[in-house]
Amino acid sequence: MTTLPTTGSLLLPAILLSPVLAMLMIVFIPKEERKLIRIVAAVGTFVAMALSLYAFFAYNRSLGGMQFTLTIPWVPDIGVNLAFGVDGLSLPMLLLTNLIGFSSIYASWNMEKRTKEFFVLLLILITGVMGTFIARDLFIFFLFYEIVVIPIYIMVIIWGSTKRVTKEYAGMKLTIYLLIGSAFLLVALIALYLAAARNGNPTFMFDQLAARQELYSPSFQKVAFGLMLFGFGSLISMFPFHSWSPDGYAGAPTAVSMIHAGVLKKIGGYGLIRLGVYVLPIGARYWAPVIAVLAIGNVLYAAFIALAQKDLKYVVGYSSVSHMGYVLIAIAALNPTAMNGAVAMMFAHGVMSALFFSMIGFIYEKTHTRNIPDLGGLAHQMPRLAIGFMIAGLASLGLPGTVNFIAEFTIFMGTIKVLPVQAILGIAGIIFTAVYTLRVIANVLFGPRRPEWDHLKDIRGPELIPLVILGFVIFSVGIFPNILMGLIDTGVVSSGLTKVLETVSQAKIGGLF
């Protein structure tokens, strides 16, 4: 007997289908109707954002666990289910996706080149990212992950712009890295599925895979987690598999840079926690020292490289690589406090980087340059843009009162006892972040008025939407952190992750085989 889905269980499909329906409507709109195309895209993403906000505040924190769930058998013979649900780990990522997705529409409001195709691909991209965070089935998770790759490549080579390398090179490099990472990930997922199916009950469901620990030998966990680490690590731009990321940012159009830095990278961190640590805890502990060392490469190496950049997008691109190092340090610490900080950092960095890239996009659109020495004194001509740029910059360096400060503080609190050297080096990385961020703010926004920019018009109307929405989130969550941290803590505890971390901390790991 099939149980009909409840009203709550239809919420996540409604969120997922909102941009899909908007995309289908745009397909039938004449390409000359650019304004109507933009409006339909904005409405579709607004509905998804509004429903995500409802889910965020309607989630029962005292109950915890997966909520708004829906499970429909899809391919029963091999255990594939169309299964959706969110908890304290995935719900912040779902909200982040739709906050940035809605803002990205307005960051691209003036798009004139092949507007119809642009917004169709953008909505597909948003849907794919969203699906990875609400999927409870491993097969569905990977399916949505693969949906993301192709739109990014097309959007970079058609609408991208970069000076250092060609947009074709940037798009191909990005795609190759993602596909190579997904190939290793696919091997790990198949191996995990086959190992879990040895009891004669095949499944791809996350919770059922995690419950079958007795079927995964320590050597299997170490190999499988290593494959996942390469796959998800490439996506989160873990050192030294990071070089695609800054080039990809620089070559991508503004909206893609926002989604890429804001949420696409977070699939890597989310996957390492949800699949790696939760399902393969012995493997996670075995590889944790490696992750901790490589994470310092992210934090310090990328920060040093950012200091030398003259292209605004490359500064923020390497900054993003550096910030992902904090997430990796937290994952390597393998304790609940650090995990809370890792999820919070992914949310905080997503909002901050999306705001940064939207402001850089407006600067490039109006000045036709991202070269820092060519700019200067823009606060005279564009004070509202300067406010958005400064909010993103101050959040990047972890200013108290911003959501980034809460995330970084929680990470260091969780890692200082477990990984003291990495924690101290990570704190030192904040100094370099402050140096390159303040340098960029000073050289781009302040200084004497430059007459060659007097013709520039400040952001206004729809262009203000990214600043208003993302800026509000940065400060509101920074001032009232329990809005986010309470939910994340519920997810870590109710998902069973806390118990897993306590168990694995006492386990004897040994060698690989």
What are the pLDDT tens digits along the chain (513 aa)? 344 444 457 899 999 999 999 999 999 998 888 889 999 999 999 999 999 999 999 998 888 888 898 888 888 888 888 899 998 889 999 999 999 999 999 988 888 788 888 999 999 999 999 999 999 999 999 999 888 888 888 888 887 776 655 667 777 777 888 888 888 889 999 998 888 888 778 888 888 888 888 888 888 989 999 999 988 888 888 888 777 777 777 777 888 888 888 888 889 899 999 888 888 888 888 898 999 999 998 898 888 888 888 888 888 888 888 899 999 999 998 888 888 999 999 999 999 999 999 999 888 888 888 888 888 888 888 899 999 999 999 998 888 999 999 999 999 988 988 888 888 888 888 888 888 889 999 988 888 888 888 888 888 888 899 999 999 999 999 999 999 988 888 877 655 566 666 666 555 555 544
Kindly tell me the sign of the dihedral angle through the C-alpha atoms of 430, 259, 491, 294: negative
Give the separation between CA 392 and CA 376, rounded to whole angstroms.
18
Give the separation between CA 462 and CA 382, rounded to whole angstroms.
15
- Whose tokens are 């594939």? That residue is 80
Report whether 254 contacts 110 (CB < 8 A).
no
Q: How many helices (H) and strands (E) does the chain have?
A: 23, 2
Which of 249, 477, 437 shows the shortest CA–CA distance to 346? 477
Report whether 413 contacts 376 (CB < 8 A).
no
Give the separation between CA 250 and CA 227, rounded to whole angstroms.
29
In a domain, 421, yes or no: yes
| Total domain count, the chain | 1
Report whether 388 contacts 473 (CB < 8 A).
no
In a domain, 64, yes or no: no
Buried b (16+ CB within 10 A) or exposed e, 362-375: bbbebbeebebeeb
At 459 the three-state DSSP class reads coil
In a domain, 122, yes or no: yes
Which of 275, 276, 410, 282 shows the shortest CA–CA distance to 345? 410
In a domain, 63, yes or no: no
In a domain, 73, yes or no: no
Q: What angle do CA 28, 33, 35 make, to 5 degrees?
A: 115
Could you give the residue ranges of the DSSP H alpha helices within 197-299?
206-210, 218-235, 244-251, 254-259, 265-271, 278-279, 281-296
Q: Tokens at residue 303, please?
A: 């920060």
Q: Tokens at residue 499, please?
A: 């118990």
In a domain, 425, yes or no: yes
Report whether 286 contacts 512 (CB < 8 A).
yes
At 108 the three-state DSSP class reads coil
- Let me know if 34 is exposed, middle or buried by CB neighbors in 10 A (0-12, 13-18, 19+): middle
Q: What angle do CA 100, 36, 353 make, to 5 degrees?
A: 15
Report whether 342 contacts 273 (CB < 8 A).
yes
Give the separation between CA 112 and CA 109, rounded to whole angstroms.
9
Report whether 29 contacts 116 (CB < 8 A).
yes
In a domain, 441, yes or no: yes
Name residue 377's amino acid.
G
Which of 321, 324, 231, 323 shows the shortest CA–CA distance to 280? 231
Long-range CB contacts (< 8 A, 24+ apart) of 187-193?
187/227, 188/224, 188/225, 188/227, 188/228, 188/231, 189/138, 189/142, 191/220, 191/223, 191/224, 191/227, 192/138, 192/216, 192/224, 192/275, 192/279, 192/280, 193/79, 193/138
- State which residues form the domain around 321: 10-56+79-503
In a domain, 24, yes or no: yes
At 508 the three-state DSSP class reads coil
